[in-house]
Chain A
């Protein structure tokens, strides 16, 4: 598989394009915007977007979805059955998708939002805004934050150290590095999260 990131300078957030080497059916994670740069990237690599996987259904994660679907006949995968009035395949925790050459495992991360998902595929973790490098994502209240921290600890930080973490906001990381710098791994800093 080959991975590309697309950084939106408008929103300072990331989309990720992943597909087989040599082109073909590809998947796009969180189409925050659909601009000429992203279109060039997709087309220059010989890709056709077949799948759009959402880590969250907030407007900021799907800003480019409507335009994207005008260009590509793609299926949207999310925790909700409809996104921006468009139908989506509803996902739940533990499902395994075959939209890429390697299986994509769905991980539910309630706490950031009820519809918050992460995807693990081929040594990559697409974790949305539930976590980013050195930081737990935002939550509505302390209870949600505690739930999110527990889910990150149990579901994400338990992945192999070499797993590459690809968040919606901020730079990439690895699970091994997050175990060193993530607040949850230092008991003295858990209180700071509340």
Chain B
């Protein structure tokens, strides 16, 4: 696990990240906030305890990867596709998602609180115990997803579509009754 509050790994560049991913299948404790990634393809890597806060990623695909205890808060993801990804205890809070797709992925107990989403799709995903509190979800779709204990507390869900998902097992509350 990266040590919070310490200086990031140097140099913090997309090139260095690519070099690390090509050399190591498993990446642990990496502290690389503020990355700017363009059309980055990540395939078959495992990440544990890494910090990618305030990352900006445009385009690209993340496939067949594992993420555990990884942090992406206050980031910006646009046009990114996640396919067959296993995430557990990851933090995307206050991140801006645009045209982002999660497909066939496990997103277990992750933190999407306060996100701003436009055209965000979860297709065939397990979102057990994941939170979307205070998120603003525009043109967002949950299709064929497990939403057991997925929480939408004070979430703007007016433009959210649930299809073939067990939203009756999710937790929805606007505030006062919670």
Residues of A within 8 A of B (CB): 1-3, 5, 7, 12, 122-124, 133-135, 160, 162-164, 170-174, 176-177, 180-181, 189, 192
**Cβ of A1: which chain B residues have Cβ within 8 Å of it?**
1, 3
Is B114 a contact of A135 with CB atoms below 8 Å? no
Of the A-B pairs whose beta carbons lie under 8 Å apart in the complex, a sample of 12, sorted by A's number, is A134-B113, A163-B5, A170-B151, A171-B91, A171-B111, A174-B53, A174-B93, A177-B93, A177-B94, A177-B113, A181-B93, A181-B134
The answer for the CA separation of A172 and B133 in the assembled complex, in Å, is 13
Is A124 a contact of B175 with CB atoms below 8 Å? no
Query: B83-112 interface mask toward A, CB cutoff 8 Å, 1 = contact, 0 = none?
Result: 000001111011000000000000011110
**Cβ of B113: which chain A residues have Cβ within 8 Å of it?**
133-134, 173, 177, 181
**Cβ of A173: which chain B residues have Cβ within 8 Å of it?**
91, 93, 111, 113
Residue B153 interfacial (CB < 8 Å): yes
Is A170 a contact of B175 with CB atoms below 8 Å? no
Is A3 a contact of B69 with CB atoms below 8 Å? yes
**Cβ of B110: which chain A residues have Cβ within 8 Å of it?**
171
Q: Interface SS of chain B: helix, strand, loop or mixed?
A: loop
**Cβ of A134: which chain B residues have Cβ within 8 Å of it?**
113-114, 131, 133-134, 153
Partner of B153, one of A5, A135, A162, A180: A135
Is A12 a contact of B134 with CB atoms below 8 Å? no
Output the least CB separation between B14 and chain A (Å). Answer: 22
**Cβ of B11: which chain A residues have Cβ within 8 Å of it?**
none
Query: Assuming the A-B contacts A3-B49, A180-B94, are A171 and B4 also in contact, with contact meaning beta carbons closer than 8 angstroms in the complex?
Result: no
Is A172 a contact of B5 with CB atoms below 8 Å? no
Is A162 a contact of B5 with CB atoms below 8 Å? yes
Partner of A7, one of B3, B29, B109, B111: B109
**Cβ of A163: which chain B residues have Cβ within 8 Å of it?**
4-5
**Cβ of B71: which chain A residues have Cβ within 8 Å of it?**
164, 172, 174
The answer for the CA separation of A71 and B68 in the assembled complex, in Å, is 27
The answer for the CA separation of A160 and B29 in the assembled complex, in Å, is 20
Is B134 a contact of A2 with CB atoms below 8 Å? no
Output the least CB separation between A166 and chain B (Å). Answer: 9
The answer for the CA separation of A173 and B95 in the assembled complex, in Å, is 13
Among A5, A134, A160, A171, max chain B CB count under 10 A is at A171
**Cβ of B130: which chain A residues have Cβ within 8 Å of it?**
171
The answer for the CA separation of A20 and B128 in the assembled complex, in Å, is 31
Is A172 a contact of B89 with CB atoms below 8 Å? yes
Is A192 a contact of B129 with CB atoms below 8 Å? no
Query: Assuming the A-B contacts A160-B5, A172-B111, are A7 and B94 also in contact, with contact meaning beta carbons closer than 8 angstroms in the complex?
Result: no
